[in-house]
Amino acid sequence: MAKRDFLSIDDLSIEELGELLDRAAAIKDKPEAVVDALKGKQVALIFEKPSTRTRVSFEVAVTSMGGHPLILRGDELQIGRGETVADTGTVLSRFVDCIVIRTFGHDRLKELAAAATVPVVNALSDFSHPCQALADMQTIIEQKKDPAGLSLAYVGDGNNVAHSLMFVGTKLGMHVRIAAPEGHAPEAGVTQRCAEIGAETGGSVTVTNVVAEAVTGADVLYTDVWASMGQEAEAEHRQNVFKGYSVDRSALDLADGDAIVMHCLPAHRGEEISADAIDGPQSVVWDQAENRMHAQKALLEWLLA
């Protein structure tokens, strides 16, 4: 059987996506069912970017499934410095059963995956955050049941999180609306691909500069930080550019009365999200964070068991 990588939500068929989400829900309900699923497996967890939720959720997932996680920081490896990314992938494949990597450029991730002979999992790249999107959709299904026909409004930077939400949403028949300032929209190729997916599933994708157009009547309100990791030098500039692109009381008032509030964390209250939104009764942010672990257990089982 050929090895599978998980670099983008678009790597999954609609059927595979549905099966993974069903399995994630089942594992959350009965975690004891997978205590030996990774017995004897070695999983390299490479963090070229610092992490809280991704590191802890993957390390706990691997350990609780009977596997052994090897935590490796970028500054502890020769990857991309004294050794090519491809050579690192080749060498690690001789030692471990899976490579999970949180990195910067997506091309770097693809180069590693092309050389590795074991599955490679994207734990975040500048282009995509597919593990987050799996947990996001698991959370939406928990709250709303069938996602088909629901509207998801994402407010903020058209970044890796936005890309993955567009893929996962349109694959499951949702109407994904992105509100981003001019110059910060999602990549045109992603928008085009998701429009094609939506044409098959009954979903759709809309990109606008107007927050009200995205959030009006929405079933899900979602946002992310204005300045992602690696963009710290642009933080002050982005404060001005993104002003008003927030999930706050005005957005909640325009959304559906039963709308849920989501954020991939870490959050900056008073910037991209208000305190009453993230800490209020419509917030599912903490369930969303927990579901990273359950969704990733299902993914690792699918790739390795």
pLDDT exceeding 70 applies to what percent of the chain?
A: 98
pLDDT at 126 > cutoff 70: yes
Cα-trace Rg, the chain: 19
The answer to whether the CB of 89 falls within 8 A of the CB of 113 is yes
Quote the pLDDT of residue 237: 84
Question: DSSP letters along the chain, please?
Answer: -----BSSGGGS-HHHHHHHHHHHHHHHH-GGGGTTTTTT-EEEEEESS--SHHHHHHHHHHHHTT-EEEEEEGGGS-BTTTB-HHHHHHHHHTT-SEEEEE-S-HHHHHHHHHH-SS-EEEEE-SS--HHHHHHHHHHHHHHHS--TT-EEEEES--SHHHHHHHHHHHHTT-EEEEE--TT-SPPHHHHHHHHHHHHHHT-EEEEES-HHHHHTT-SEEEE--SS-TT-GGGHHHHHHHTTT--BSHHHHHHS-TT-EEEE-S---BTTTB-HHHHSSTTB-HHHHHHHHHHHHHHHHHHHH-
The answer to whether the CB of 139 falls within 8 A of the CB of 262 is yes
Quote the pLDDT of residue 211: 98
Which pair of structure tokens corresponds to residue 217? 């009547």
Quote the pLDDT of residue 89: 96
Structural domains for the chain: 9-129+291-304 (3.40.50.1370), 132-288 (3.40.50.1370)
- Reported as a single tens digit per residue, the pLDDT across 37-78 is 999 999 999 999 989 999 999 999 999 999 999 999 888 887
Query: How much is the average pLDDT of 291-298?
Result: 98
Quote the pLDDT of residue 80: 61
Quote the pLDDT of residue 235: 74
For residues 28, 176, 303, 34, the Cα torsion angle rounded to the nearest 10 degrees is 0
Q: Could you tell me which residues come within 8 angstroms of residue 214 by beta carbon, excluding any fewer than 6 positions away?
A: 153, 154, 155, 177, 178, 179, 206, 208
Quote the pLDDT of residue 230: 63
State how far the alpha carbon of 239 is from the alpha carbons of 69, 185, 265, 275, in Å.
38, 16, 18, 17
Phi, psi values for residue 124, rounded to 5°? 150, 130
Quote the pLDDT of residue 21: 98
Greatest C-alpha distance within the chain: 55
Average pLDDT, the chain: 96
Q: Could you tell me which residues come within 8 angstroms of residue 149 by beta carbon, excluding any fewer than 6 positions away?
A: 173, 174, 175, 202
Upper half-sphere CA count for residue 178 (Cβ side, 13 Å): 32
pLDDT exceeding 90 applies to what percent of the chain?
A: 91
Quote the pLDDT of residue 268: 96
Residues identified as active-site: 102, 129, 132, 224, 264, 292
The answer to whether the CB of 177 falls within 8 A of the CB of 208 is yes
Quote the pLDDT of residue 232: 67
- Reported as a single tens digit per residue, the pLDDT across 231-265 is 666 778 889 999 999 999 999 999 999 999 999 99
Chain position carrying tokens 């997916």: 197
Quote the pLDDT of residue 233: 67
- Reported as a single tens digit per residue, the pLDDT across 182-232 is 999 999 999 999 999 999 999 999 999 999 999 999 999 999 999 776 666
